[in-house]
């Protein structure tokens, strides 16, 4: 293992030894190639550069206390990428190919998987891009699917803690029938301005309402939202949010812990009634929310300065499963290195 101060790493990019690539040409996927070059040799007219024909995924490899390395719900990431492919007319990457490439890239870079004690992990970034030279707006004929990895530090450096969010009414991340449910780079481009605005005002993240009526809760930046009240985990149902695998898992964990689960539209005013609230995604699992400000109405929805007991329980349980410390009764983890 590399001798690095893993715990001090941020969520940045660090060069590792290898990435894996697979090319789609003449209507089929080729062989998996191992590559040590960080750069792509890309045509300047590639569809990914001009028309956003690009999709990505994000998951992590965890070095566990039992010495094994596990990845979490890799088949779900493959399925979500397939859904994105159908959404923006790219050829699907099979679950088998996706999983094989994830395993391969993690094993090739095992020196770069941080220690368990550091709380850091190996972030895995699959990327699929249209590479054909084209100036007309059509789907590409050729594609490159690649996966690289980079060690990332622990999300909570000072321990599990809460952060403030701000509702942005003047910006939308995605339209009700747009690409919000697909993991494409364009959604992120659409969120940069509002995200920057939120940071400038001292908030951790921007909070979106549904684009059509500005009435219901959508997502927080690049994370799904949940609220908790009366022993019930409640998360938005919306056509413009990204189906988070963390959220899907937390819904199951909540049920396993004896909570009720509801997935339905959440009107903004309902925020007032939640005992706890949080953002969820692979990066943090849960990032508890201290308060959400609506600057237009002057309203502040508060959930306490510290993470609530149910958020803590959900967080500890999901992390315990990811690290092989709690029983994985739904078969969510895959051992990549034994
Ligand atoms: C990736 C992503 C999430 C989180 O999904 P996970 O699978 O839980 O990591 C949430 N919202 C957006 C917009 C995303 O791109």
List pLDDT tens digits, range 220-274.
989 999 999 999 999 999 999 999 999 999 999 999 999 999 999 999 999 999 9
Q: 60 near 124, Cβ under 8 Å?
A: yes
Residue 278 burial class via C-beta count within 10 angstroms: exposed 0-12, middle 13-18, buried 19 and up: buried
pLDDT at 142 over 90: yes
Question: How many angstroms does the Cα of residue 136 sit away from the middle of ligand 1?
Answer: 31
Question: How many angstroms does the Cα of residue 68 sit away from the middle of ligand 1?
Answer: 26
Q: 54-56 and 260-263 as β-strands: parallel, antiparallel, unpaired? A: unpaired
The continuous run of DSSP H or E covering 317 comes out as: helix 309-322
pLDDT at 176 over 90: yes
Question: How many angstroms does the Cα of residue 26 sit away from the middle of ligand 1?
Answer: 32
Question: How many angstroms does the Cα of residue 240 sit away from the middle of ligand 1?
Answer: 12
For residue 284 and ligand 1, the question of a CB distance below 6 A is answered with no
Q: 160 near 39, Cβ under 8 Å?
A: no
64-75 pLDDT, tens per residue?
999 999 999 999
pLDDT at 158 over 90: no
In eight-state DSSP terms, residue 115 is P
Q: d(Cα 141, Cα 146) in Å, to the nearest integer? A: 17
For residue 246 and ligand 1, the question of a CB distance below 6 A is answered with yes
Residue 289 pLDDT class (50, 70, 90 cuts): very high
Pocket test for ligand 1, best of 58, 205, 206, 278 (most atoms within 8 A of CB): 58
For residue 282 and ligand 1, the question of a CB distance below 6 A is answered with yes
Please state, rounded to an integer, the average pLDDT across all residues of the chain: 97
Residue 157 pLDDT class (50, 70, 90 cuts): confident
CATH 3.30.70.260 describes domain 163-321 = no
Reported pTM: 0.97
CATH of 6-152, one of 3.30.750.24, 1.10.1490.10, 3.30.470.10, 3.40.50.300: 3.30.470.10
Question: How many angstroms does the Cα of residue 90 sit away from the middle of ligand 1?
Answer: 20
Q: Is 163 helix (H, G, I), strand (E, B) or coil?
A: strand
Closest ligand 1 atom, residue 282 Cα:
9
Q: Is 221 helix (H, G, I), strand (E, B) or coil?
A: coil
pLDDT at 159 over 90: no
Of 26-35, 152-161, 168-177, 296-305, the least confident:
152-161
Residue 176 burial class via C-beta count within 10 angstroms: exposed 0-12, middle 13-18, buried 19 and up: middle
Average pLDDT over residues 92-103: 98
Torsion of CA 196, 200, 204, 206, to 10 degrees: -50
Q: For the chain, what are the domain ranges?
A: 6-152, 163-321
């Amino acid at each position: 293992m590399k001798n690095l101060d893993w715990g001090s790493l941020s969520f940045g990019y660090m060069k590792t030894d290898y990435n894996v690539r697979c090319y789609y040409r003449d209507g089929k996927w080729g062989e998996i190639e191992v590559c040590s070059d960080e750069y792509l040799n890309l045509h300047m007219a590639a569809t990914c550069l001009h028309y956003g024909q690009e999709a990505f995924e994000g998951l992590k490899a965890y070095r566990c206390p039992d010495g094994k390395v596990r990845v979490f719900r890799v088949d779900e990431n493959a399925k979500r990428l397939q859904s994105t492919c159908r959404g923006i007319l790219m050829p699907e990457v099979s679950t088998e190919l996706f999983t094989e490439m994830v395993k391969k890239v993690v094993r090739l870079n095992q020196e770069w998987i941080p220690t368990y004690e550091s709380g850091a992990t190996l972030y895995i970034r699959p990327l699929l891009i249209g590479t054909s030279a084209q100036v007309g707006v059509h789907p590409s004929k050729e594609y490159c699917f690649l996966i690289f990895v980079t060690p990332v530090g622990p999300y909570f450096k000072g321990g599990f803690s809460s952060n403030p969010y701000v509702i942005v009414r003047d910006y939308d991340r995605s339209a009700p029938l747009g690409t919000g449910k697909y993991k494409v780079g364009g959604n992120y481009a659409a969120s940069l301005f509002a995200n920057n605005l939120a940071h400038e005002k001292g908030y951790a993240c921007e909070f979106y309402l549904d684009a059509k009526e500005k009435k219901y809760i959508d997502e927080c930046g690049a994370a799904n939202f949940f609220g908790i009240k009366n022993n019930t985990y409640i998360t938005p149902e919306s056509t413009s949010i990204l189906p988070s695998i963390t959220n899907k898992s937390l819904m199951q964990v909540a049920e396993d812990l004896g909570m009720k689960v509801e997935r339905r539209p959440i009107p903004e005013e309902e925020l007032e009634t939640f005992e706890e609230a949080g953002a969820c995604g692979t990066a943090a699992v849960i990032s508890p929310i201290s308060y959400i400000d609506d600057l237009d109405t002057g309203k502040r929805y508060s959930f306490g300065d510290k993470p609530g007991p149910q958020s803590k329980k959900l967080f500890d349980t999901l992390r315990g499963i990811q690290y092989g410390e709690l029983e994985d009764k739904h078969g969510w983890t895959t051992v990549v290195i034994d």
